[in-house]
Structure 1
Amino acid sequence: DLVQDWAIFKQRQRMARQATRFRIIQAQHRKQTQEEEKNDKDRFQMMKWELYRLKCDQIDEDYANFKKTQIKIFWWLQLALVFLSIRKAMDNFIVFRAKVYKEAKELLMYNRIQFRFKRFIRRKGPTAHDRNLIPVKSSLLLFGLCKSPLALAQ
């Protein structure tokens, strides 16, 4: 009877050790999962800011092209006013002007969206220091070769 009690005690002791090991492994796994989720969130934020920066650059390029086109239009208008006999040039100008008006409307919408987004970013976005780190580190962050700038700043 005493031997059997001793065996039961030892068995319970082994089970308690196994349960403790299992809890430790669970805690380690939970910690790793939380770190991976945090890293994924940081990567997502960096990609979001990189896409925003690229979109702003594209809008700036579109606006520069629009200004070049506007100069061409004014040049054609001067030609048409000086040489009234150029009827075909005037017709081309009218078609071209319609195209530019359409682009101007699109750019106006882009600029409204960009203004609202920039205003939102100023209120809710990262600090100036974090924004300066984004273009430098974003390409490395996309491939997981670097920590987030928020972690580097600390």
Structure 2
Amino acid sequence: MCPSGRRFHLDAAAQSPEIRTAFKVLDADSDGRISGDDLRAFFSRFPAASDDIIASMISDADVNRSGFVEFEEFERVIFSGGDGIMEDAFRLMDLDGDGKVGFGDLKSYLMSAGMPADDEDVREMICSGGCDESIGVGFEDFLRILAVDSGNKAC
């Protein structure tokens, strides 16, 4: 479940089952594309997910301006870091707004996303970001966890 410091390349992305699974989690109506309604359904558990933030996320990822995020656009966001999209996702996960996604934040987010993780999985993810679970992960560490950055494992 945890990337454990693996380095992904864009050409390998299409073969990544984790990316496909994440896309399917966000595609609430299973129509093969992510809409604003899909994101609203997914982020409904997070009070910071305003319509403006969701619209911005769609707009930033929607290269072909179809009004939806197709899988290829989703891949681009994941592997390029997106143009503000990943920052928005990080802020939504940072439930207490302290600039860190802590152990509880990450575990809660994974559970609400339909990706149950045991405590060891969450610790491993935090470690892959180069951090200690008692501190949590900052934004750059978060990108390493998602394998957007080179993410050398520091623990």
TM-score, shorter chain, exceeding 0.5:
no
TM-score w.r.t. length of structure 1:
0.19
More helix by share: 1
For normalisation by structure 2, the TM-score amounts to 0.19
Q: Which of the pair has more CA radius of gyration?
A: 1
